[in-house]
Amino acid sequence: MALLILLLFIAVPVIEIALFIQVGGVIGLWSTIGVVILTAMLGTALLRHQGLDTLRRVQESLAENRMPVVEMFDGLCLVMAGALLLTPGFMTDAFGFLLFVPPFRAAAARAIGRYIVTHGQVHVSTAGMSGGPQDDPFSGPRHRPGPGGGPVIDGDFEEVDPETETPDRDKVEDARKPKPGGSDGGRP
């Protein structure tokens, strides 16, 4: 992998210089500089528009309690596209504009997903109440013992300060009174 990165750091500038020479010879120096500046400005505008749209979709996913995986990948592609478009060069601009195309991003996501599934490794580690790793495969929420050795029961609660809040005595008294037709034969 390090060799591939080294080759990219050497090959990309060489290709960009060759393209600058070729394009500059055809359209001239100032036109070439103008095209580079124009692509940077256009890339910035596209990044702003698609970035805000991606942010909106992330917020919608989070509001629906969904993990925004696709949106995060799109955001990563947009950041890469912005960096490539701000880098002077025609080849980097071409790859940057390609990352702005949603079908290309979807195809890239599928390809990367397939690669990760076939070549990647996933390690899962859980932690118990003490924070240490658990070797027991049945240490999930259903099988985790609580502090007293019993099962853990999830629930909601509301903390009430007895000094500031007193229960409504009329409601408590009404709740204690037997109902007519109840098990006590309707006696008051």
> CA 117, CA 174: separation in Å to the nearest integer?
63
Look at the pTM and tell me if it is higher than 0.85: no
Give residue-wise pLDDT tens across range 66-92. 888 888 999 999 999 988 988 888 999
Give residue-wise pLDDT tens across range 116-174. 888 876 565 655 555 444 444 444 444 455 555 666 677 777 777 777 655 555 555 55
Residue 150 CA from chain centroid, whole number: 36
Taken in order 42, 45, 48, 49, the sign of the CA dihedral is negative
pLDDT value, residue 27: 93
Give residue-wise pLDDT tens across range 104-131. 999 999 998 888 888 876 565 655 555 4
Give residue-wise pLDDT tens across range 51-67. 889 989 999 988 898 88
